[in-house]
Amino acid sequence: MQTFAFLADQPGVGAPAGSLAVPDLRRWRIKGYEKILIFYHYDDHNLYLIRILHGARDLDSLLDDEHEFSE
């Protein structure tokens, strides 16, 4: 919960994730679980949690699949 509160206060801290499906997607690691990545994007009013994934997965194929984000 501490990580999500931090991101809500400082959403620009995450590194760009380079997704084709979500151009402004960012990533951040959960403290204490460094292999777990949070993928999100934000606007002026909201933080949108897209995925939480283990860093050993094929992130490029999971994040660039446009069908995954269309529902």
Residue 70 lies in a domain: no
Range of the domain at 17: 2-63
Q: How many domains does the chain have?
A: 1
pTM over 0.85: no
In a domain, 42, yes or no: yes
Q: Is residue 69 part of a domain?
A: no
- Has residue 22 been placed in a domain? yes
Dig out the tokens for 5 from the structure: 């509160």
26 in Cβ contact with 14 (< 8 Å):
yes
Kindly provide the b/e burial profile for residues 48-69, where b requires at least 16 CB atoms within 10 angstroms of the residue's own CB.
Answer: eebbebeeeeebeeebbeeeee
Residue 24 belongs to a domain: yes
* Helices and strands, counts by H and E, the chain: 3, 4
Residue 23 falls inside a structural domain: yes
Instruction: Say if 58 falls within a structural domain.
Output: yes
On whether residue 17 sits in a domain, the answer given is: yes
pLDDT tens, position by position, 19-69: 666 778 898 988 888 888 888 989 888 999 888 888 667 676 776 664 455
Distance CA 51, CA 69 (A): 10
